[in-house]
Structure 1
Amino acid sequence: MASMASTASSFEHSNSGFQMGVNTGSVTYHVHMPAEEKKEMNTRSCDQSQAHYIIPAMANRHFTGRESTLNELKQKLFIQASTEKLALFGLGGIGKTQVALQLAYWVKANVPDCSIFWAPALSLETFEQACWQIAKEFQIPRKPDESAMELIRRHLSSDKAGKWLFIVDNADDIDLLFDELHQYFPTGGQNGVTLLTTRSREVAELFAETDTVQLKEMTAEEGIEFLAKIIGKDSLCSRESATQLLEELKLLPLAIVQAACYIRRNNGTTIRYLELMHKTQKDRMRLASRDFRDITRYRETRNAVTATWLISFDQIKSSDPPAAGLLEFMSYLEPKAIPRSLLPTLDSEEEMDFAIGTLCGYGFLTRRDNSDQDIFDIHSLVQLSTRVWIAEAQKTQEIITTVTQHMDKCFPSDEYTNRATWRIYLPHALGILSREENKDLSERYSLHSKVGECILADGRVKEAVAAFKEVCVWKEASYDEEHPSRLMSEYILASAYRSNGQNKKSIELLEHVVAVERILDKEDPSRLASQHELARAYQSNGQTKQAVELIKHVVTIFERTLDEGHPDLLRSQHTLAVAYRFNGQIKQAVEILEHVVAVRERTLDEEHPDRLVSQYELAVAYRFNGQIKQAVEILEHVVAVRERTLDEEHPDRLASQFELAVAYRFNGQIKQAVEISEHVLAVSERTLDEEHPSRLASQHELAVAYQFNGQIKQAVELLEHVVTIRERTLDEEHPDRLASQYELAGAYRFNGQIKKAVEISEHVLAVSERTLDEEHPNRLASQFELAMSYQSNGQTKQAVELLELVVAVEEITLDEEHPKRILAQKALKDAKKRLIDVENTENRLS
C-alpha cells in the first residue's frame, strides 16, 4: 500500500489505452487495456504489470459536488492508505454508486498502475457474472472446478494481480453478503483495497468495522447546481422555488433526478412541480411513485423513490419484523421530533433498541443528538414511500386504526406537569386526527377531547373550540340526550366557548346541561361542576347577581362535603370571590382569596396554574380595595413566572401583564403602564378577532393609560372604537359596555368635549342605578364621573349633590386611607368651594 500512496500523488494520466464496451447481462462495463495487448488478449494471459479497468458504463455527466466525501475516500484508500477495506453507506438513492464511480475515474486518472474491478452485489448471480467477466477478459488461469468467484478471490489475493481497487456495489442484503459472497472477497495485503457500498450501517460496520464513510444528502448549493444541470436554468423559475423544491425533496439525489425528469418530460417548471406536490396527498404519492429512465443506474433497478426503498423495506421485514412494524406506525406520525415514548412497546426494551437500530442503520430514522430524551426524525420521503407500500398492500385503514388507538391510550391529560409531554405529542396527534380513515372510531373522539383540553391549557382557544365541537357532534349522534358522556362533551365545549369570549353560546349550552342534570342528586359532582361553570359563564356575560347566587349554592355544598384543601372546593371559592368583586363586595372577595391563596401556596408548586390564577385574582381584589402596592408586588411575581413558562400569546400570560399595567397606573407608574399595555394590545390584535373581549379590554386599558399619560386624542380614538363594538355586541347593562362608556366620558371631558361627556355619564349612571346596589363601586364611580362632568359644564350644584352622596357611602364602605375615598373627599371639598365662589359672584351681580 505504501507504493500506491506514492503513485496517487503523481497525478499522471495514461493516454495509451482504449475503452471497449462489454455487455455483462444488464450492466455494461468499460474494459480498458493497453493497446499493445489488444491483439494478444485471446492468446495469452494479461501482463500483470499493466493496469486494467472494468467499470460500469454509467458515467453521469450531471454529477455534482460530493467533494468532501470523495476526498475522504481518496485519503483513506490511496493517499494515507490506512485501510485494506472501506464501506460507503447511506440511504437508498443518495448517490453511493455515483460517488464510487467518480472515485474509480479519479483512480484511473491519477493512479495509473492500479487496476479497477467492479462487481454489483444485487444478487449472487450479478456478483458471479461480474467475476466471470473479469476472469474471461483477462484470461486468468482457472483450476479445475474452480468457480469464477473463487478464481477472482485467489487471483486478486496474490502478488500477480498488482495494485487493484475492487468495488462491490449495492451490498445491501446482509444474509447474501455474509452467508454467500464475503468468503470470495480478496485480501489485498500491500496490493489491493476493497470498497463496498451499502444502504445498511450494520453491513458497513460488519464488513469494515470502523473504516466506514456515511454519504449524506447534498448541500443546498450542490442541489441547485445538480437540478439546473438536468432541467436547465430556465425551468428553475427562481432560486426561491428551486430551493423550496429541494427542501421538499430533502436534497436526495434520486428524488431530485425523479423530479427533474418529470419537469423535463412535461416541459414544466419547479413552481408547477411544487404545486402538484402540495395539491393532495394522492398527487404527492403519485409523483414519488413515477418511474423514469436513468442510464446512470442498473437496468434492472426501478428508479422511482418509492420503489428503490422497497428493497430496503423488504429486507427489514425479512430480518427484523418489529422494525418494519415501527416504520409502518411512524409513517402516519409527523416526520419531525418523534419521541420514543410515543411508539408502541415491543416485547422488551432490547427488542425496541434493536428495531430502532435497524431503522437508523438504513437511514430511515435519525436520532437527535442534542435531546435529553430519545427523539427521532423520520425521512419524510421514506415516510411517504411507506404510505405508498401500505396503500398497495391495502393496509391503510388497519395502520391508521392502530395509530389512533395507541395515541388515545398514551396521550396525557392537561395536568400542567404533563405540559412538556403533550407539547411534543401534539403535532403527531393532530396529524392522525386529520385523517378521514378513523372518523368512525370512538378513540378518535376520545383523543380529540384530550388534545382539545391540552391546547386550551396552552391558550390555543379557537383550535380547542373546533376540537370540542367535533366531539360534541359525534356524541350527539351516538348517545341519548341524558347520557353522561354527551353531557360532559357539551360542558367542555361550553367552557371553551367562554374562554373564546362566546358567552351567550356558553350559557345556552350550560343551561341545557344543568336542566338535564336536575335528575341527579343535588350533591352529585357532575351536577355541581356544571352549575359552577354556568356561574362563571354568567359572570363573563355580566350577569353578576345570577353568578353570585349560583356559585354560593355550589360553595355551600362543597364546604359541607369536601376537605378544606380539596381542589373543587378551592376552585368554587375562587369563583365566588371573583363574583363578589364584580358585585362590589370587595372585602368579602379579598377575605376568600387570601384563604385560597394561602392553601394553594402551601400545597402547590410555584408554577402551578391554579396557584398563579388565585394570586392573580387576589392582586386584582387588592387593587379594588386600594391595596395598590400589594397588588403590584403579587402581579410582578405572577408575570415573571408566566413569562418564564408560557408562550408570548398565551391568554393567561397576557392577562397578568394586562393587570400589572392597570396596577402600575394606579400606582402612578404611568410610563410602565403604557409600555406594557401597548405590548399586550399588539399581541392581542395579532391573535384575536376584532370583537374578542380580551382584545377590547386591552384597547380599553391602553386608552386609559394614554389618558393618564396626557395622550388624550389617542385615548378618545381607542375608546370610541371599543364603545362602538361593545354597544353592538353586548347588552345595555353589561359591565364591560358600561365601563368603556364611563371611560369615554372621562376622555371626552379631558378633551374639552363636555356636552358629550355629560350625555354619556348620565346614561351610564342611569343604568348603574337601575342595576347595581347603592354601595357598588361601579355605581359610585359613575356618580363621581358625572359629578366631574357637571362641574366642567358649570353645573356645580348638581356636582356637589352627587359627590356628597359618593363620599357618604365611601366613608361607610372604604378604609380611611383608601385612594378612592380620599379622591372623592377632595373633589367634594373643591366643588363646594367652587359653589361658594359661584354663589358669591351671583350675589354680587344681583
Structure 2
Amino acid sequence: MLFMRKEWRKAAIVGLGGVGKTQVALQLAYWTKKHRPEFSIFWVPALSSATFEQAFAAMARKLPIQSGGDDDDLKQSVRRYLSSEAAGPWLLVVDNVDDSDIFFGSAGMPGSISEYLPESDDGLTLFTTRSREVAVSVAGSDVIRPAAAELLKELTYLPLAITQAAAYINIKQVPLAEYVELLHGTQQDIIGLMSKEFRDKTRYPGSQNAVATTWLVSFGQIRKSDNAAADLLSFISCIEPKGIPQSLFPSSESTEQLVDAIGTLCAYAFLTRRGDSKVFDMHSLVHLATRIWAQREGLTATTEEKATRHLATVFPSDDYANRNVWREYLPHGLRVLQHSKELDIKERSDLLFWIGRCLRADGRIKESAKSLEEACQWRIRHFAKDHPSRLASQHTLAIAYQANGQVQEAIELLEQVVAIQAKTLTQEHPDRLASQHELARAYQANGQVQEAVELLEQVVAIKAKTLTQEHPSRLASQHELARAYQANGQVQEAVELLEQVVAIKAKTLTQEHPDRLASQHELARAYQANGQVQEAVELLEQVVAIKAKTLTQEHPSRLASQHALAIAYQANGQV
C-alpha cells in the first residue's frame, strides 16, 4: 500500500500481541531492500523512550550529520536530515507503538517520540501497534475499497493470514473477489480440525479459521505446480520450524530444483529466509497446519520415516571440526526422534547414536545418556553380541555413563565389551584398544588406580608400535596414563608424559581444540601436585580464558577448569 500511491506516506499494522505484526513489517523491509534498493531502511523500536533513543543514536552514527552531543539535539538532527531532500527515499519502521503516553507524550511525561519522527515526500513510515486508536492517530483512517475490506474481514485482520493471502494473490495475479471465493470453497472439515488445534496458538477471535483457510488455498496450488516444494514442506513439518539450515534439506534431482522449491515456499510466505543467510524460519501455525494435513491424509508415518532416514544420513559425527554443523542440526534431530518413537528401523538407532555423541560433546550429559541408551537397546534387540554396531553403542553409552557419574554401570558395560573384543579382535585392533582405554578411565574414576595404570600401560605400549607420535588416539591414551600416574602418586612421570603430549598438540591442534585444552588442564594439575604452583596458575588462566570464549557457562569442562584454577590460586596464596 505504501508504494502504490504517493499520497500514502504512512501506514499502520494493528493487532494483538503475538499475531505477527513485526514479521509482516520485516517482510516489507526485506522486500524493499530487494526490489527498491534506492531506499534506505531504518528500524526503530518504540517500546520505551530508551529503546527509541538508542535506535536514533545508532542512526545518527550512520548518517552524515553532526550534533552537539545532547540527546535531544541528536534526535532533532536525525529528524531534520531525514526530512531534507539530501536524505533521498527511505522507509522507517516504528515497531511496537503500544503506549500512547510514550509515543505522543502526556502532562506527566514531557517530550514524546512522535515529535522526532521525520516528514518527507520521499519517506515512508510504517507503524506496528496493538492499539487501533494509535494506528488511526499515526496513519489516518483511509477507507479501503470494498473487495479488500471484505477480504480483510474474512481473514480476521490477522497479519499471518494476510501475508499468506497477499503472497498467493501476487503470484497468481487473481482479483481479490476471486480469492474470497477460493476461501469460501475450501474444505470445511479440515479447516475445522486445524482451527481446533490452532486455538491455543493465537489470541485473535476467529483467526484460527483464517490461517487454516489461507494455508489450504496456497498449499493446494503448491501441490499442483511444484511437487518438490510440497515434498520439502512435508519434510519441514517433521523438524523444528525455526533456524533451519539449507544444508539440512533433502536433495532434489538438481540444485536448481531445490532452489526453486525453496523459492516457491518463500513466495507463498510459508518460509522466511534470515537476511542473506542460508537459514530459514517457518511460522509455527504454518508448521502445525502442515502436520495436521499430513495426519488427516494418513501420511504422517511415511513422512516421519523419510525424515528420520534423511537425518540419519546427513547428521555429522561429533568431531570437533563439525561442531557448528551439529549444533545447528541438533534441535531438528531431537524433534524427529521425539515424533518417531514407534519407528523400528536401523536409521533411527543411527540417528540416536550420533545425536547422543554430539550431546555429550556439547556437555549435555543426561540427554546424551538417554539418547545412547535408546540406541543401545535397539541394537541389542536386533544385533548379535559381537556385532560391531552393538559393541560401539555399548562402548559409547559407557562413556556417557561415566560422565554422568554412573561409574559402576560404565565398568560393567565396558568389561563385557572388552571381554567380547578379546575373543574377536586382534590385540592392536583400534576398537579393542579404544574400549580398553575407556575401561581404564572408568577404573580410575572408581578408585581402581592400579588396574587403570596397568591397562593403560599395555594400551600405550601397543599404540607406540602401531601409531605415529602425533596420532590423536595415541596421544589420548598417553594423556590418560599420565592422569593415572598422578592418581597413583607417580607425579614426576605424569608431568614428563603430559609435557610431551602438550608439546605435540601445540603443533597439531588449534588453541581452542578441546583435546589440547584437556591436556593443558591436566598438566597444570600435575604441576601443582609437583609443587610448581606458579606454572599451574599461568597455564590454567590460559585454559579458562579460552574456554570462556568457546563453551557455555554451565559446560562441565569449563567449570572443571575454573574449579582447578581456584584451587591453584589458593595454593599460590591468592586467597
TM-score (norm 2): 0.67
Counterpart Cα distance in 1 of 2:163 and 2:195: 28
2:431 to 510, 520, 526: 526
Q: Does residue 1:310 correspond to 2:216, yes or no? A: yes
1:211-231, Cα deviation, whole Å (9 max, x unpaired) = xxxxxxxxxxxxxxxxxxxxx
Q: Displacement, 1:348? A: 2.9
1:287 — aligned with what?
197
Counterpart Cα distance in 2 of 1:657 and 1:549: 31
Counterpart Cα distance in 1 of 2:341 and 2:350: 16
1:613 — aligned with what?
518
1:360 — aligned with what?
266
User: In the superposition, relative to structure 1, how do residues 540 and 296 fare at CA in structure 2: closer, same or farther (>3 Å)?
Assistant: closer
Q: Which runs of 5+ in 2 are unaligned?
A: 10-96, 99-119, 124-134, 156-161, 175-187
Aligned length: 428
Letter of the 2:265 counterpart: L
1:830 — aligned with what?
none
SS in 1 for 2:280: strand
1:781 — aligned with what?
none
1:383 to 287, 310, 316: 287
Q: Displacement, 1:609? A: 0.7
1:599 — aligned with what?
504
User: In the superposition, relative to structure 1, how do residues 583 and 311 fare at CA in structure 2: closer, same or farther (>3 Å)?
Assistant: same
Counterpart Cα distance in 1 of 2:455 and 2:8: 91
1:111-143, Cα deviation, whole Å (9 max, x unpaired) = xxxxx6649999xxxxxxxxxxxxxxxxxxxxx
1:550 — aligned with what?
455
Asked whether the equivalents of residues 171 and 267 of structure 2 are also in contact (C-alpha less than 8 Å), the reply is no
User: In the superposition, relative to structure 1, how do residues 501 and 355 fare at CA in structure 2: closer, same or farther (>3 Å)?
Assistant: same
Larger radius of gyration: 1
Counterpart Cα distance in 1 of 2:488 and 2:7: 95
1:374 — aligned with what?
278
Counterpart Cα distance in 2 of 1:8 and 1:643: 52
1:179 — aligned with what?
none
User: In the superposition, relative to structure 1, how do residues 564 and 197 fare at CA in structure 2: closer, same or farther (>3 Å)?
Assistant: closer
User: In the superposition, relative to structure 1, how do residues 381 and 295 fare at CA in structure 2: closer, same or farther (>3 Å)?
Assistant: closer
1:320 — aligned with what?
226
Asked whether the equivalents of residues 198 and 204 of structure 1 are also in contact (C-alpha less than 8 Å), the reply is no
Asked whether the equivalents of residues 422 and 454 of structure 1 are also in contact (C-alpha less than 8 Å), the reply is yes
SS in 1 for 2:281: strand
Counterpart Cα distance in 1 of 2:356 and 2:519: 24
Superposed, 1:265-664 pairs within 5 Å as 286-288=196-198, 303=209, 305-369=211-275, 373-436=277-340, 439-519=343-423, 520-664=425-569
User: In the superposition, relative to structure 1, how do residues 107 and 592 fare at CA in structure 2: closer, same or farther (>3 Å)?
Assistant: closer
Counterpart Cα distance in 2 of 1:647 and 1:456: 14
Q: Displacement, 1:285? A: 7.6
Letter of the 1:522 counterpart: Q
Q: Displacement, 1:351? A: 2.4
Counterpart Cα distance in 1 of 2:252 and 2:323: 26
SS in 2 for 1:199: helix
Q: Displacement, 1:319? A: 1.9
Counterpart Cα distance in 2 of 1:616 and 1:440: 43
Q: Displacement, 1:456? A: 0.4
User: In the superposition, relative to structure 1, how do residues 363 and 644 fare at CA in structure 2: closer, same or farther (>3 Å)?
Assistant: same
Counterpart Cα distance in 1 of 2:163 and 2:394: 60
1:568-588, Cα deviation, whole Å (9 max, x unpaired) = 111111111100000011111
User: In the superposition, relative to structure 1, how do residues 80 and 575 fare at CA in structure 2: closer, same or farther (>3 Å)?
Assistant: closer
User: In the superposition, relative to structure 1, how do residues 625 and 306 fare at CA in structure 2: closer, same or farther (>3 Å)?
Assistant: same
1:164 — aligned with what?
none
Counterpart Cα distance in 2 of 1:8 and 1:509: 73
Superposed, 1:52-451 pairs within 5 Å as 106-107=142-143, 118=147, 199-201=165-167, 203-204=169-170, 286-288=196-198, 303=209, 305-369=211-275, 373-436=277-340, 439-451=343-355
1:470-506, Cα deviation, whole Å (9 max, x unpaired) = 1111111111112221111111111111111111111
Asked whether the equivalents of residues 164 and 269 of structure 2 are also in contact (C-alpha less than 8 Å), the reply is no
Pairwise CA RMSD of aligned residues?
A: 3.9
SS in 2 for 1:303: helix
Letter of the 1:356 counterpart: I
Q: Displacement, 1:376? A: 0.9
1:189-222, Cα deviation, whole Å (9 max, x unpaired) = xxxxxxx9972537537869xxxxxxxxxxxxxx
Counterpart Cα distance in 2 of 1:328 and 1:284: 16
Counterpart Cα distance in 1 of 2:320 and 2:271: 31
1:694 — aligned with what?
none
Asked whether the equivalents of residues 164 and 214 of structure 2 are also in contact (C-alpha less than 8 Å), the reply is no
Asked whether the equivalents of residues 326 and 344 of structure 1 are also in contact (C-alpha less than 8 Å), the reply is yes
User: In the superposition, relative to structure 1, how do residues 303 and 654 fare at CA in structure 2: closer, same or farther (>3 Å)?
Assistant: closer
Counterpart Cα distance in 1 of 2:436 and 2:303: 42
Q: Displacement, 1:424? A: 1.3
Counterpart Cα distance in 1 of 2:406 and 2:8: 77
Counterpart Cα distance in 2 of 1:295 and 1:498: 53
Counterpart Cα distance in 1 of 2:379 and 2:358: 20
SS in 2 for 1:346: coil
1:367-418, Cα deviation, whole Å (9 max, x unpaired) = 112x7x3111101111111111111221111110111111111111111121
User: In the superposition, relative to structure 1, how do residues 378 and 6 fare at CA in structure 2: closer, same or farther (>3 Å)?
Assistant: closer
1:665 — aligned with what?
570
Superposed, 1:724-763 pairs within 5 Å as none
SS in 1 for 2:512: coil
Q: Displacement, 1:631? A: 0.8
Asked whether the equivalents of residues 399 and 438 of structure 2 are also in contact (C-alpha less than 8 Å), the reply is yes
Q: Which runs of 5+ in 1 are unaligned?
A: 10-64, 67-78, 83-98, 109-115, 123-166, 171-195, 209-257, 263-282, 671-846
Counterpart Cα distance in 2 of 1:560 and 1:548: 19
Counterpart Cα distance in 1 of 2:420 and 2:195: 49
Asked whether the equivalents of residues 285 and 385 of structure 1 are also in contact (C-alpha less than 8 Å), the reply is no
Asked whether the equivalents of residues 498 and 522 of structure 2 are also in contact (C-alpha less than 8 Å), the reply is yes
Asked whether the equivalents of residues 506 and 516 of structure 2 are also in contact (C-alpha less than 8 Å), the reply is yes
Asked whether the equivalents of residues 623 and 631 of structure 1 are also in contact (C-alpha less than 8 Å), the reply is yes
Counterpart Cα distance in 2 of 1:411 and 1:285: 35
Counterpart Cα distance in 1 of 2:140 and 2:527: 81
Counterpart Cα distance in 1 of 2:416 and 2:571: 42
Counterpart Cα distance in 2 of 1:629 and 1:533: 32
1:26-82, Cα deviation, whole Å (9 max, x unpaired) = xxxxxxxxxxxxxxxxxxxxxxxxxxxxxxxxxxxxxxx99xxxxxxxxxxxx9899
User: In the superposition, relative to structure 1, how do residues 416 and 312 fare at CA in structure 2: closer, same or farther (>3 Å)?
Assistant: same
Q: Displacement, 1:304? A: 6.1
Asked whether the equivalents of residues 164 and 270 of structure 2 are also in contact (C-alpha less than 8 Å), the reply is no
User: In the superposition, relative to structure 1, how do residues 120 and 398 fare at CA in structure 2: closer, same or farther (>3 Å)?
Assistant: farther
Asked whether the equivalents of residues 285 and 388 of structure 1 are also in contact (C-alpha less than 8 Å), the reply is no
Q: Displacement, 1:466? A: 0.7
1:323-379, Cα deviation, whole Å (9 max, x unpaired) = 11111110111111111111112233332222222212222111112x7x3111101
Asked whether the equivalents of residues 304 and 340 of structure 2 are also in contact (C-alpha less than 8 Å), the reply is no
SS in 1 for 2:209: coil
